[in-house]
């Protein structure tokens, strides 16, 4: 991923991501992908907040459908998906990483990962929550979501949010080595097993997809939520000085 400055998931980025994912999915010679960042110190800043500020209801609906589509495709991918997390990964960035089959994070206490939505005054939707429950369990997810916790890489490893920690310079080679282990399993057996594990979570969104879009549109359109997001963007600017 290389969408400067912070790999935020804008409409354009999501569209390009989906096109590329589909191309790889349809390429029979491609059995696995490593998701990583070409932006130093940042894996992905999550959803592009500008896409959720001061836009029309139609725009919010279209944007949310694209976010859903990204998750549906990545979470159910037939390919082996490995996240090589080489930087901070808040909110939607954390969702992307959790949607992969395996997560390896660079050992750097400055990098953080987590679903921090409540800190922005917004609420992670049920399928973000389900994805986290499937990764770290119900109890850890509950406090994590309520407090909008961001974990340093050692903390993330401790709670199982990432599977492996490695020195930054070994991240890509470790991801390649892990990929080889996963590719040693016959594709059809691995794919059926993955589907068996993930289908109930996917089906829940598919059954409520339109309601989830409506819910997002009405929530994000509220004046109070727009204000919270604007204040958060201001806070990011001030932090930089
Ligand atoms: N969207 C848009 N712009 C962003 C975002 C973002 N998510 N994050 C950062 N930027 C912008 C900054 O405003 C800044 O812009 P400018 O140069 O114009 O001032 C630029 O990117 C660089 O940012 P920083 O100076 O902060 O860069 P740092 O390297 O110091 O820090 C971080 C990088 C750690 C990524 C930091 O920017 C950060 O914490 N960003 C916020 C991340 C975040 O909280 N994302 C949450 C998005 S919400 C989401 O993903 C899920 C929503 C769920 C649905 C809700 C239902 C209602």
| pLDDT digit string, tens, across residues 63-117 | 999 999 999 999 999 999 999 999 999 999 999 999 999 999 999 989 999 999 9
Residue nearest to atom 16 of ligand 1 (CA): 237
pLDDT mean for each 10 residues of the chain (241 residues)? 98 98 97 98 98 97 98 98 98 98 96 96 96 98 98 97 98 98 98 98 98 98 95 90 68
Q: In whole angstroms, how far apart are CA 205 and each of 28, 60, 174?
A: 28, 18, 33
ipTM exceeding 0.90, yes/no: yes
Q: Is the CB of 114 within 6 Å of ligand 1?
A: no
Q: Is the CB of 50 within 6 Å of ligand 1?
A: yes
* Domain range annotation of the chain: 11-240
Choosing from 45, 124, 230 the residue with most ligand 1 atoms within 8 A of its CB, the one to mutate for a pocket test is 45
Distance (Å) from CA 155 to ligand 1 centroid: 21
Instruction: Decide if 102 contacts 163 (C-beta within 8 A).
Output: yes
pLDDT, position 91? 98
Q: Is the CB of 92 within 6 Å of ligand 1?
A: yes
* Residue numbers annotated as active site: 47, 92, 116-117
pLDDT, position 240? 75
Nearest atom (ligand 1) to Cα of 88: 34
Q: Is the CB of 220 within 6 Å of ligand 1?
A: yes
CATH code matching the domain that covers 11-240, chosen among 3.90.226.10, 3.40.50.720, 3.40.309.10, 3.60.90.10: 3.90.226.10
**What confidence tens digit (pLDDT) does each residue in 219-232 have?**
999 999 999 999 99
241 C-beta neighbours (distance < 10 Å), count: 4
For strands 112-114 and 151-152, give the pairing: antiparallel
Distance (Å) from CA 118 to ligand 1 centroid: 14
C-alpha triplet 55, 97, 173: angle, nearest 5°: 135
Q: What is the CA 52 to chain-centroid distance, rounded?
A: 17
């Amino acid at each position: 991923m290389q969408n400067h400055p912070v790999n935020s998931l804008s409409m354009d980025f999501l569209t390009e991501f989906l096109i590329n994912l589909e191309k790889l999915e349809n390429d029979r010679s491609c059995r696995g992908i490593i998701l990583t960042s070409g932006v130093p110190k940042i894996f992905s800043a999550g959803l592009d907040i500008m896409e959720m500020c001061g836009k029309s209801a139609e725009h919010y609906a279209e944007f949310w459908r694209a976010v859903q589509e990204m998750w549906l495709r990545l979470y159910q991918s037939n390919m082996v998906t490995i996240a090589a997390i080489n930087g901070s990964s808040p909110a939607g960035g954390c969702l992307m990483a959790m949607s992969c089959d395996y997560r390896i994070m660079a050992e750097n206490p400055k990098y953080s990962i987590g679903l921090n939505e409540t800190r922005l005054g917004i609420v992670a939707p049920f399928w973000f929550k389900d994805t986290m429950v499937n990764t770290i369990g119900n109890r850890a997810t509950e406090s994590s979501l309520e407090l909008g916790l961001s974990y340093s890489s050692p903390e993330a490893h401790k709670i199982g949010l990432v599977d492996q920690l490695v020195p930054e310079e070994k991240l890509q080679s470790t991801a390649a080595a892990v990929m080889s282990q996963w590719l040693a399993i016959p594709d059809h057996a691995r794919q059926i097993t993955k589907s068996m594990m993930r289908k109930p979570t996917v089906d829940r969104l598919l059954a409520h997809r339109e309601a989830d879009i409506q819910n997002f549109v009405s929530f994000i359109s509220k004046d109070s939520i727009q204000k919270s997001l604007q204040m958060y963007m201001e806070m990011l600017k001030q932090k930089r000085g």
